[in-house]
Amino acid sequence: MDGTAIVTGEVRELIRRSGIDPARDRVRVRSLVRDAVADYDERSLTGSLPPLADPAGTARRVFDEVAGFGPLQALLDDPAVEEFWINEPGRVLVARGGVNEATDIVLGAEEVRDLVERMLTPSGRRVDLSRPFVDAALPDGSRLHVVIPDVTRSSWVVNVRKFVARASTLTELVALGTLTSRAAGFLAAAVAAGLNVLVSGGTQAGKTTLLGCLVAAVPPRERVLTCEEVFELRVERPDTVGMQCRQPSLEGTGEIRLSRLVTEALRMRPDRIVVGEVRREESLDLLLALNSGLPGMCTVHANSAREAVLKMCTLPLLAGENVSDRFIVPTVAGSIDLVVHLELGRDGGRRVREIAAVPGRVVGGEIEIVDVFTERDGDLVPAGGMPPHPDRFARAGIPVAALLDPAAPGRG
């Protein structure tokens, strides 16, 4: 047994005797670890114990083991790591700057299961043969997804998507190069005017980050209700309530789905409703809310703005056989005002590629879509289209035509 393992065992015993909760009292645990490493280092001078080559590194590894998530804690602490995943115990990979790379971390199968249980403990969620999938939020806001056999072939598969939003406002997104200042000004104006915004893109394109920045542009006096599968949005506003879904209990009861959250949010006097991502029948509940005059926003996986609108026409059909496209198509046309589409570039950069407007017209069974901003020669520039509801911009005192004038000075 090496020195690190010995110190780890001693610290665990000290924690047990002291009754400390490592997850809640990390300061005391860090002090215990520091003292234990110093004591061990002194005892090792007698030659009866293997010496510590790097006492500071040992203290860090011991602390990660008893109060963190073991070898994975370094990945959580590394700001350059956006996501990491375990395909099998001996294969841990990470994404840095949108680029995948392997690590030298090697775990045992039992160690992976223990780490997953520790990760799930704060959320109260579980994974077992009856529920082989689980989504949960880690204490730092990272999103955990786990799949176990026999859904997977032989190993527990773990994904941790870190909350690495480098922007909380549209202005900060401009600084990152995600969109231009003119596009950001237009989106801020559209949010202030109360337009309904659909954010689309692929996985890791930056949809949640952009959604959070749009929420930050909501006028401060408005009451915002957010509904998510797992908490991911970081919203710092004076009047905001966030809700997340809940798994069923061991008895199979108590499940709360996203559609239920949307319904309940409508009873909480919202001025604006935000849904983290629509995937299933909750899209119908959201459309009905938006169609009743309540402003809102959401995200959806899609490859373009037009595909996003098409997807919003098909997802509500999952709500039941009595829901038809004859009802859904005009409802979508009257409910979605803007679509903002992002893409993850090969260089790892997240950029808005297009902003489209939905004027509300249906021609030949298809919803009309107008380009407001489009990418031209690498720049996001006004495309000549105008958003719907000019009266809302006028009431808010916003000269929307000037914001979108292609001849106006300013890049993009």
Q: Is residue 386 located within the same domain as residue 270?
A: yes
Residue with tokens 């031209």: 376
Residue with tokens 């393992």: 5
Residue with tokens 């963190």: 68
| β-strands 91-96, 81-88 pairing | antiparallel
| pLDDT of the residue at 343 | 94
Domain count, the chain: 3
Mean pLDDT over 59-64 rounds to 89
Residue 412 placed within a domain: no
| pLDDT of the residue at 371 | 96
3-state class (DSSP) for residue 4: helix
Mean pLDDT over 11-25 rounds to 85
HEC profile of 339-380: EEEEEECCCCCEEEEEEEECCCCEECCEECCEEEEEEECCEE
Is 368 exposed, middle or buried (CB count within 10 Å of its CB: 0-12, 13-18, 19+)?
middle
Mean pLDDT over 178-202 rounds to 96
State yes or no: pLDDT of 173 exceeds 90.
Answer: yes
> Residues of the chain with pLDDT > 90: what percent?
57
Q: Is residue 233 located within the same domain as residue 346?
A: yes
Cα(333)–Cα(344) distance, integer angstroms? 27
Q: Is residue 181 located within the same domain as residue 284?
A: yes
Residue 257 placed within a domain: yes
pLDDT band at 321 (very low <50, low <70, confident <90, very high): confident
Is residue 375 within 8 A of residue 354, CB to CB? The reply is yes
Cα(94)–Cα(92) distance, integer angstroms? 7
Tens-place pLDDT, residues 382-393: 999 999 999 999
Residue with tokens 């009754």: 19
Is residue 167 within 8 A of residue 381, CB to CB? The reply is no
Q: Is residue 199 located within the same domain as residue 345?
A: yes
Tens-place pLDDT, residues 244-286: 998 887 777 888 999 999 999 999 999 999 999 999 889 999 9
State yes or no: pLDDT of 411 exceeds 70.
Answer: no
Q: Is residue 62 located within the same domain as residue 190?
A: no
Residue 212 placed within a domain: yes
Q: Is residue 209 located within the same domain as residue 149?
A: no
HEC profile of 90-136: CEEEEEECCEEEECCCCCCHHHHHHHHHHHHHHHCCCCECCECEEEE
First and final CA of the chain: distance in angstroms?
62
Mean pLDDT over 287-304 rounds to 93
| β-strands 240-244, 224-228 pairing | parallel
| pLDDT of the residue at 266 | 93
3-state class (DSSP) for residue 338: strand
Q: Which two tokens stand for residue 371?
A: 């380009």
Beta bridge partners of 136: 144
pLDDT band at 1 (very low <50, low <70, confident <90, very high): low
* Residue 373 identity (one-letter amino acid): F
List the CATH number of the domain containing 96. 3.30.450.90
Q: Is residue 190 located within the same domain as residue 264?
A: yes
| pLDDT of the residue at 409 | 61
Q: Is residue 78 located within the same domain as residue 52?
A: no
Mean pLDDT over 339-360 rounds to 92
Cα(191)–Cα(219) distance, integer angstroms? 8
Cα(388)–Cα(399) distance, integer angstroms? 14
Q: Is residue 215 located within the same domain as residue 325?
A: yes
Average pLDDT, the chain: 90
Residue 192 placed within a domain: yes
133 lies in which domain range?
74-161
Q: Is residue 312 located within the same domain as residue 374?
A: yes
Task: Out of 26, 44, 68, pick the residue that ends a domain.
Answer: 68
Residue 410 placed within a domain: no
Among residues 31, 34, 36, 47, which one has the least CA distance to residue 13? Answer: 36
Task: Out of 108, 129, 161, pick the residue that ends a domain.
Answer: 161
Mean pLDDT over 124-152 rounds to 90
- Residue 343's Cα: distance from chain center in Å? 15
Q: Which residues contact 377 (CB under 8 A, 6 or more apart)?
A: none
Task: Out of 11, 36, 68, pick the residue that ends a domain.
Answer: 68
Residue 52 placed within a domain: yes
Residue 391 placed within a domain: yes
> Residues of the chain with pLDDT > 70: what percent?
98
Determine the longest span between alpha carbons in the chain, in angstroms.
Answer: 87
Residue 408 placed within a domain: no
Q: Is residue 183 located within the same domain as residue 151?
A: no
Cα–Cα distances (Å) from 355 to 100, 182, 340, 369, in that order, read 29, 12, 5, 10
List the CATH number of the domain containing 269. 3.40.50.300
Q: Is residue 271 located within the same domain as residue 371?
A: yes
Tens-place pLDDT, residues 71-104: 999 999 998 898 999 999 889 999 987 788 999 9
